Amino acid sequence: QVQLVESGGGLVQAGGSLRLSCVVSGRTFSSYAMGWFRQAPGKDREFVSAINRSGGSTLLADSVKGRFTISRDNAKNTVYLQMNSLKPEDTAVYYCAADLTFGLYRTVSAYDYWGQGTQVTVSS
């Protein structure tokens, strides 16, 4: 059974920073490409960032380029999302997801396992 548990969300003022973490258990972490998605109330879940198995390749949504950074520590079974210069429009529930294939994908359907999400609220 694969489990993903996110942490690090919270309430922050615009311009502030947060670092999200996602710990994966149940299978060899380096077998997965990892992604971060977010979902605001009334909106579809949207892609934020992804990282390949080794951490050598990443993708970022245009809306977060220059502000967010994804990284992973395979020794700790953890993927991170460093979020800087946060904006009110970044407010959402953030989910991490694991993908067993070799590629990097932006689509929800490409991912095999999901966490429960962590709330990020950015006040203006």
Of the ranges 9-13, 25-29, 79-83, 109-113, which one carries the lowest mean pLDDT score?
Answer: 25-29
Nearest to 24 by CA among 40, 39, 7: 7
Nearest to 118 by CA among 14, 22, 15: 22
Query: What pLDDT, in 10s, does the model give residues 66-75?
Result: 999 999 999 9
Nearest to 3 by CA among 21, 25, 22: 25
Q: What is the pLDDT of residue 77?
A: 96
Query: What pLDDT, in 10s, does the model give residues 95-105?
Result: 999 998 888 99
Maximum average pLDDT range among 25-34, 43-52, 93-102:
43-52
Q: Where does the pLDDT of residue 27 fall: very low under 50, low under 70, confident under 90, or very high at 90 and above?
A: confident
